[in-house]
Structure 1
Amino acid sequence: MAETAVSFALAEVFQFLKEETHLLRGIHKDFSVIKDELESIQAFLKDADKRAADEANTDDGIRTWVKQVREASFHIEDVIDEYLRLIHPPQLGCVSSTCKITSLISRHQIATKIQDIKLSLSVIKERSERYKFQVSQEQGSSLEQSRWHDPRMRSLFIEETEIVGFEFSRDEMVDWLLKGTKDPAVISVVGMGGLGKTTLAKHVFDSENVKSHFDCRACITVSQTYTVRGLFIDMIKQFSKETKDPLPQMLHEMDEKSLISELRQYLEHKRYLIFFDDVWHEDFCDQVDFVMPKNNKSSRIIITTRLMQVAEFFKKSFLVRVHNLQLLPPDKAWELFCKKAFRYELDGQCPAELEGISNEIVTKCKGLPLAIVAIGGLFSTKSKTVFEWRKVSQNLNLELQRNAHLTSLTKILSLSYDDLPYYLKPCILYFGIYPEDYSIHHNKLTQQWIAEGFVKSDGRRTLEQTADEYLSELTYRSLVQVSTVSFEGKVKSCQVHDLLHEMIVRKVKDLSFCHFLQDDELATVGISRRLSIDTSSNKVLKRNINTHIRAIHAFGKGVIEPFMGQLSSKSRLKVLDLEGISLKYAPSNLGNLFHLKYLNLRGTKVRVLPKSVGMLQNLETLDIRDTLVHELPSEINKLKKLRHLLAFHRNYNAEYSILGYTSGVVMKKGIKNLTSLQNLYYVEVDHGGIDLIQEMRFLRQLRKFGLRRVKREYGKAICGSVVEMKHLESLNITAIGEDEIIDLNSISSIPQLRRLKLKLRLEKMPNWISKHDYLVCIKLALSNLKDDPLRSLENLPNLMQLSMGENAYDGEILHFQSGGLPKLKKLELRSLNRVNSIIIDRGALLSLEHFSITKMPHLKKVSPGIKALDNLKVLDFRDMPTEFVESIGSENGQDHWIINHIPLVIIRHWVGPKVNDFEVRTIHSSNKS
Structure 2
Amino acid sequence: MGGVGKTALVKEIYQSQELAGAFEKRACVTVMSPFDKVQLLRSLAMQLVVVEPPEDYETICSLGSRAKTPLFWSIQKLKNEMESILKEKKCLIAFDDLSSTTEWDMIWSSLPQMGNASRILVTTREENVANYCSKEQENVCKLQVLDREHALGLFMKKVFKEKEHLHRQYPELIEQAEQLLKKCDGLPLAIIAIGGFLVNQPKTAMEWRKLNQNLSTELEMNPELDTIRTVLLKSYDGLPYHLKACFLYLAIFPEDYKISLTRLLQRWVAEGYSREVNGKSSYEIAESYFRDLVSRSMILPTRRSGHSSNEMGSCQLHDIIREIGISKSVEENLVFRLEEGCSLNIQHRTRHLSVSNNWKGDQNEFESTVDLSRVRSITIFGKWRPFFISNKMRLLRVLDLEGTSDLVDHHLMHIGKLIHLRYLSLRECYGIYHLPGSLGNLRQLQTLDITGTNIIKLPKTVIKLRKLQHVRARGVGSNDDCTYGEYPEEVPKIMRNKLCILTCSSVGFCVACCAPHLLKECMGIDGDINRRDVCTTCCCSYLPMQVKRRSRRGVRVPRGIHRLKALHALGVVNVSKKATLREVARLTGLRKLGVTGVDESNSGELCLALANLSCLESLLVQSEGKPGLFGCLNGLSSPPENLESLKLYGNLECLPTWIDDGLKNLTKLNLRSSRISGHDTATKVLGSLPNLAILRLRKESFEGEEVHLHFRRGAFQTLMVLELSSPGKLKSVRFQKGATPKLELLQYKYSDQPEEDVVSKENDDDQFKEAPRVGLFSGLASLGSLKEFLLMGGNYKGDFVKNLRSQLESNPKQP
Instruction: Please indicate, yes or no, whether the TM-score normalized by the shorter chain is above 0.5.
Output: yes
Once residues 137 and 720 of structure 2 are traced to their aligned partners in structure 1, the CA distance between those partners, rounded to angstroms, is 28
Counting only pairs closer than 5 Å after superposition, residues 844-923 of structure 1 correspond to structure 2 as 844-848=739-743, 849-852=745-748, 854=750, 862-863=775-776, 865-866=778-779, 869-871=782-784, 873-874=788-789, 876=791, 889-891=797-799, 900-902=806-808
Q: Which amino acid aligns with 1:900?
A: S
Once residues 432 and 789 of structure 1 are traced to their aligned partners in structure 2, the CA distance between those partners, rounded to angstroms, is 47
Q: Which amino acid aligns with 1:870?
A: L
Q: Which amino acid aligns with 1:874?
A: F
| Alignment match of 2:43 (pick from 234, 240, 245) | 234
Aligned-residue offset at 1:370: 1.3
Counting only pairs closer than 5 Å after superposition, residues 214-613 of structure 1 correspond to structure 2 as 214-241=23-50, 251-315=70-134, 321-343=139-161, 351-352=169-170, 355-356=173-174, 357-484=176-303, 486-487=307-308, 489-520=310-341, 521-522=343-344, 524-542=346-364, 543-544=366-367, 546-556=372-382, 558-564=383-389, 566-568=390-392, 571-582=394-405, 583-585=407-409, 586-604=411-429, 605-613=431-439
Once residues 12 and 168 of structure 2 are traced to their aligned partners in structure 1, the CA distance between those partners, rounded to angstroms, is 27
Aligned-residue offset at 1:448: 0.8
Residues 597 and 621 in structure 1, CA contact (< 8 A), matched pair in contact too: yes
Aligned-residue offset at 1:337: 2.1
Q: Which amino acid aligns with 1:322?
A: V
Aligned-residue offset at 1:705: 0.9
> Kindly tell me: are residues 738 and 826 of structure 1, through their superposed partners in 2, closer, same or farther at Cα, counting changes over 3 Å?
farther
Residues 475 and 481 in structure 1, CA contact (< 8 A), matched pair in contact too: yes
Residues 377 and 399 in structure 2, CA contact (< 8 A), matched pair in contact too: yes
Residues 342 and 349 in structure 1, CA contact (< 8 A), matched pair in contact too: no
Once residues 314 and 457 of structure 1 are traced to their aligned partners in structure 2, the CA distance between those partners, rounded to angstroms, is 31
CA RMSD of aligned residues (A): 3.5
Residues 456 and 556 in structure 2, CA contact (< 8 A), matched pair in contact too: yes
Residues 826 and 850 in structure 1, CA contact (< 8 A), matched pair in contact too: yes
Q: Which amino acid aligns with 1:513?
A: L
Could you tell me the percent identity over the aligned residues?
Answer: 31
Q: Which amino acid aligns with 2:213?
A: Q
Q: Which amino acid aligns with 1:796?
A: L
* 2:374 match: secondary structure: coil
> Kindly tell me: are residues 567 and 657 of structure 1, through their superposed partners in 2, closer, same or farther at Cα, counting changes over 3 Å?
same
**TM-score when normalising by structure 2:** 0.79
Aligned-residue offset at 1:611: 0.5
Once residues 325 and 466 of structure 1 are traced to their aligned partners in structure 2, the CA distance between those partners, rounded to angstroms, is 28
Aligned-residue offset at 1:898: 7.3
> Kindly tell me: are residues 673 and 839 of structure 1, through their superposed partners in 2, closer, same or farther at Cα, counting changes over 3 Å?
same
Residues 342 and 350 in structure 1, CA contact (< 8 A), matched pair in contact too: no
**TM-score when normalising by structure 1:** 0.70
Q: Which amino acid aligns with 2:789?
A: V
Aligned-residue offset at 1:547: 2.0
> Kindly tell me: are residues 374 and 879 of structure 1, through their superposed partners in 2, closer, same or farther at Cα, counting changes over 3 Å?
closer
Aligned-residue offset at 1:786: 4.8
Once residues 342 and 784 of structure 1 are traced to their aligned partners in structure 2, the CA distance between those partners, rounded to angstroms, is 62
Instruction: Give the aligned partner of residue 743 of structure 1.
Output: 632
Residues 35 and 103 in structure 2, CA contact (< 8 A), matched pair in contact too: no
* 1:547 match: secondary structure: helix
Q: Which amino acid aligns with 1:229?
A: V
Work out the number of aligned pairs and report it.
Answer: 702
Q: Which amino acid aligns with 1:594?
A: I
Residues 817 and 841 in structure 1, CA contact (< 8 A), matched pair in contact too: yes
Aligned-residue offset at 1:261: 2.9
Q: Which amino acid aligns with 2:194?
A: I
Once residues 792 and 300 of structure 2 are traced to their aligned partners in structure 1, the CA distance between those partners, rounded to angstroms, is 32
Instruction: Give the aligned partner of residue 774 of structure 1.
Output: 665
Aligned-residue offset at 1:699: 1.8
Residues 675 and 703 in structure 2, CA contact (< 8 A), matched pair in contact too: yes
Residues 351 and 374 in structure 2, CA contact (< 8 A), matched pair in contact too: yes
> Kindly tell me: are residues 245 and 842 of structure 1, through their superposed partners in 2, closer, same or farther at Cα, counting changes over 3 Å?
farther
**2:611 matched to 1:793?**
no
Q: Which amino acid aligns with 1:431?
A: L
Once residues 646 and 255 of structure 2 are traced to their aligned partners in structure 1, the CA distance between those partners, rounded to angstroms, is 36
> Kindly tell me: are residues 796 and 259 of structure 1, through their superposed partners in 2, closer, same or farther at Cα, counting changes over 3 Å?
same
* 2:671 match: secondary structure: strand
CA deviations on 1:376-434 (whole Å, 9 max, x unpaired) are 22112223444444444433332222111112221221111111111111100011111
Once residues 245 and 650 of structure 1 are traced to their aligned partners in structure 2, the CA distance between those partners, rounded to angstroms, is 85
Once residues 570 and 92 of structure 2 are traced to their aligned partners in structure 1, the CA distance between those partners, rounded to angstroms, is 56
Q: For structure 2, which runs of at least 5 residues remain unmatched after alignment?
A: 56-65, 488-551, 756-768
Instruction: Give the aligned partner of residue 557 of structure 2.
Output: 667
> Kindly tell me: are residues 831 and 231 of structure 1, through their superposed partners in 2, closer, same or farther at Cα, counting changes over 3 Å?
closer
Once residues 348 and 776 of structure 2 are traced to their aligned partners in structure 1, the CA distance between those partners, rounded to angstroms, is 67
Residues 535 and 559 in structure 1, CA contact (< 8 A), matched pair in contact too: no
Once residues 890 and 346 of structure 1 are traced to their aligned partners in structure 2, the CA distance between those partners, rounded to angstroms, is 36
Q: Which amino acid aligns with 2:671?
A: L
Aligned-residue offset at 1:496: 1.3
* 1:219 match: secondary structure: strand
Once residues 54 and 684 of structure 2 are traced to their aligned partners in structure 1, the CA distance between those partners, rounded to angstroms, is 71
Q: Which amino acid aligns with 2:586?
A: F
Once residues 518 and 677 of structure 1 are traced to their aligned partners in structure 2, the CA distance between those partners, rounded to angstroms, is 37
Once residues 144 and 802 of structure 2 are traced to their aligned partners in structure 1, the CA distance between those partners, rounded to angstroms, is 35
Residues 732 and 777 in structure 2, CA contact (< 8 A), matched pair in contact too: no
> Kindly tell me: are residues 420 and 763 of structure 1, through their superposed partners in 2, closer, same or farther at Cα, counting changes over 3 Å?
same
Aligned-residue offset at 1:810: 4.5
Instruction: Give the aligned partner of residue 444 of structure 2.
Output: 618
Once residues 3 and 696 of structure 2 are traced to their aligned partners in structure 1, the CA distance between those partners, rounded to angstroms, is 42
Q: Which amino acid aligns with 2:401?
A: L
* 1:902 match: secondary structure: helix
Residues 517 and 540 in structure 1, CA contact (< 8 A), matched pair in contact too: no
> Kindly tell me: are residues 785 and 382 of structure 1, through their superposed partners in 2, closer, same or farther at Cα, counting changes over 3 Å?
closer
Counting only pairs closer than 5 Å after superposition, residues 138-157 of structure 1 correspond to structure 2 as none
Aligned-residue offset at 1:243: 11
